Homo-oligomer: A and B are copies of this chain.
Amino acid sequence: MKSYDEIVAHTQKIADINGAMAVLSWDKETYLPAEGAALRARQMATLSAIGHQKMTDENYFNGIMSLLQDQALNEEQQINLIRLKRDIEQQTKFSTDFVEKMSLAVSEGYHAWAEARHKSDYTIYEQKLDRLIQLKKEAAEILGYENHPYNALIDQYEYGMTVDILDNVFNQVKNDLVPIIQNLVVQEQPDTSFLEAYFNEDKQWKFGLDVLRDIGYNFQAGRQDKSAHPFSISMGSAADVRVTTRVDEHNYAYMLWSTIHEGGHALYEQGLPTEEYGMPLGQAASLSIHESQSRLWENHVGRSLQFWQYYLPKLKMVFPREFQNIDVNTFYRAINKIAPNLIRTEADELHYHLHVLIRYEIEKAIVTDEIKTKDIPTVWNELYKKYLNIDVSRDADGVLQDVHWAFGSIGYFPTYSLGSFYAAQFYHQAKRDIDSLDEKIAKGEFKPLLQWLRTNVHIHGRRYQSEELCQKITGEPLNLSYFINYIERKFLSL
């Protein structure tokens, strides 16, 4: 492979394979019949191996390296090749032997975790988790790092992110956010019982589709289906980006905000440049920037007073009896209720980051042996008492609640919080750039915001790392003050 075009053609074939895997994965979560699970697993393993083989093809890497020395490349071509070079290096750093050991540890870890969670018995999982932690420490050494082994692990999920930046972020969570939350939870809580009436599934579903369409999701290049856990997935380009949701007929809050959240992810993917199909400039910047898009739509838009000034009258037409006596302020207060709970995925907009903080502190400490594997539950429970002031009665609702570590994902959790914090900073900038954004949202005009996100975030693909993109959009790196200010304004006025 000697020309840029040949590199593109090869890269796009890899994208075809990854896109096919995305379809198989989407089908697995939506429509796959029960007995098809093992067949699907082998189909995906085979495609994954073929993709890996193409990605680590020596001719491909050598072609990229020699093109990178070529001065005739334009800026976009250079960026694409630099990003590809790193992607390939990440995939080739580990020996086949190591990859197989990790794969086995993940498989055993996952099964042990599932059983341990089911029986709420950490001891079933402890040994397998320890094996995974030892391998991740080994991985950090193979990958290489400066200062802290955790840097190597975060870097895999969030290129360029470091313990230094995260320590700074989570210190502010501790110093500024924790007191705000402690102040909020002792105040009188709004009544939320009206959100737990009976809400017909089909009506909820239709309303969710309307909201998705309104915020700009293109149903000609996507669709919504049902799955056990909501997700969004791109089949490889903006031409086919799908979302799923789950409807709970006894909890109105469940479906709509997860729909908006996944819609935010999908709007990002639908805004990526199709002319860069398969190339880094056609891909999302990072996990945290992805999460910034979902959180921005879910929280800054979907949980705002303006949004419900527009939608509550519409919602009342769908569920007249259920919401007849509810005014928009009552509704707004109810959907922004703050209360500590044990489960991260059920946390409110503020407590969520305390869940992540706890995981961040534990992850950092386990890769340096400051916490031993057998002691994780004890530390976990202590931290939940310290930060959320709640007791963990059983490990199933504590250390065993997340699958991430069992999948060998250590260093992933911080990207969730980073996403929220970037969202606050971006949204602050959007309000400065877009004339009367609040008023527009109160009128159901979402196009200016989507257009702003398209121009400032989506269109760039992977041109910038997260922090570079943040600098470019807002003129400064990640600054938690925007998030703190946002929640102070929002929650102290409630």
* Contact string against B for A residues 85-96, beta-carbon threshold 8 Å, 1 for contact and 0 otherwise: 000000000000
Give every chain B residue within 8 A of A223 (Cβ-Cβ): 31, 33
Assess the B20–A20 pair: CB atoms within 8 A. yes
Q: Which residue of B lies closest to A28 (CB)?
A: B23
* Contact string against B for A residues 195-225, beta-carbon threshold 8 Å, 1 for contact and 0 otherwise: 0000000000000000000000011111101
Q: Which residue of B lies closest to A242 (CB)?
A: B33
Assess the B33–A220 pair: CB atoms within 8 A. yes
* Contact string against B for A residues 33-54, beta-carbon threshold 8 Å, 1 for contact and 0 otherwise: 1111011101101110010000
* Contact string against B for A residues 4-16, beta-carbon threshold 8 Å, 1 for contact and 0 otherwise: 0000000011001
Give every chain B residue within 8 A of A237 (Cβ-Cβ): 39
* Contact string against B for A residues 237-254, beta-carbon threshold 8 Å, 1 for contact and 0 otherwise: 101101000000000000
- Give chain B nearest CB distance to A216 CB in angstroms: 15
Assess the A43–B31 pair: CB atoms within 8 A. no
Q: Copy number in this complex?
A: 2
Give the complex CA separation of A20 and B39 in angstroms: 10
A32 within 8 A of B: yes
Q: Which residue of B lies closest to A237 (CB)?
A: B39
- Give chain B nearest CB distance to A272 CB in angstroms: 13
Contact (A34, B220) CB under 8 Å given A24-B23, A42-B16 = yes
Assess the B17–A240 pair: CB atoms within 8 A. no
Give every chain B residue within 8 A of A34 (Cβ-Cβ): 220-221
Of the candidates B31, B38, B43, B222, the one whose C-beta lies within 8 Å of that of A33 is B222
A439 within 8 A of B: no
Contact (A43, B20) CB under 8 Å given A33-B220, A239-B35, A239-B38 = yes
Assess the A221–B20 pair: CB atoms within 8 A. no
Task: State the majority secondary structure of interface residues on A.
Answer: helix
Q: Which residue of B lies closest to A54 (CB)?
A: B50
Q: Which residue of B lies closest to A26 (CB)?
A: B27
Of the candidates B12, B35, B43, B242, the one whose C-beta lies within 8 Å of that of A19 is B43
Give the complex CA separation of A19 and B46 in angstroms: 11
Q: Which residue of B lies closest to A49 (CB)?
A: B13
Assess the A17–B47 pair: CB atoms within 8 A. yes
Give the complex CA separation of A220 and B220 in angstroms: 31
Assess the A20–B24 pair: CB atoms within 8 A. yes
Give every chain B residue within 8 A of A32 (Cβ-Cβ): 240
Q: Which residue of B lies closest to A32 (CB)?
A: B240
A235 within 8 A of B: yes
Give every chain B residue within 8 A of A280 (Cβ-Cβ): none
Give every chain B residue within 8 A of A35 (Cβ-Cβ): 218, 220-221, 239-240
Assess the A236–B19 pair: CB atoms within 8 A. no
Of the candidates B23, B31, B46, B218, the one whose C-beta lies within 8 Å of that of A17 is B46
Give the complex CA separation of A46 and B24 in angstroms: 15
Of the candidates B43, B219, B225, the one whose C-beta lies within 8 Å of that of A23 is B43
Q: Which residue of B lies closest to A19 (CB)?
A: B43
Q: Which residue of B lies closest to A30 (CB)?
A: B31
Give the complex CA separation of A47 and B218 in angstroms: 27
Give every chain B residue within 8 A of A12 (Cβ-Cβ): 42
Q: Which residue of B lies closest to A36 (CB)?
A: B240
Give every chain B residue within 8 A of A36 (Cβ-Cβ): 221, 235, 239-240
Give every chain B residue within 8 A of A23 (Cβ-Cβ): 23-24, 27, 43
* Contact string against B for A residues 177-206, beta-carbon threshold 8 Å, 1 for contact and 0 otherwise: 000000000000000000000000000000
- Give chain B nearest CB distance to A232 CB in angstroms: 14
Give the complex CA separation of A43 and B36 in angstroms: 22
Give the complex CA separation of A218 and B33 in angstroms: 10
Assess the A236–B39 pair: CB atoms within 8 A. yes
Give the complex CA separation of A24 and B219 in angstroms: 19
Give the complex CA separation of A23 and B27 in angstroms: 8
Give every chain B residue within 8 A of A13 (Cβ-Cβ): 46
Give the complex CA separation of A272 and B310 in angstroms: 57
Give every chain B residue within 8 A of A19 (Cβ-Cβ): 39, 43
Give the complex CA separation of A242 and B30 in angstroms: 14
Give the complex CA separation of A235 and B13 in angstroms: 22
Q: Which residue of B lies closest to A277 (CB)?
A: B39
Q: Which 7 residue pairs are nearest across A and B when measured between Cβ atoms?
A: A36-B240, A16-B46, A35-B221, A39-B239, A16-B43, A35-B239, A20-B43
7 A–B contacts from the bound complex (CB under 8 Å): A13-B46, A17-B47, A33-B222, A33-B240, A35-B239, A38-B239, A39-B239
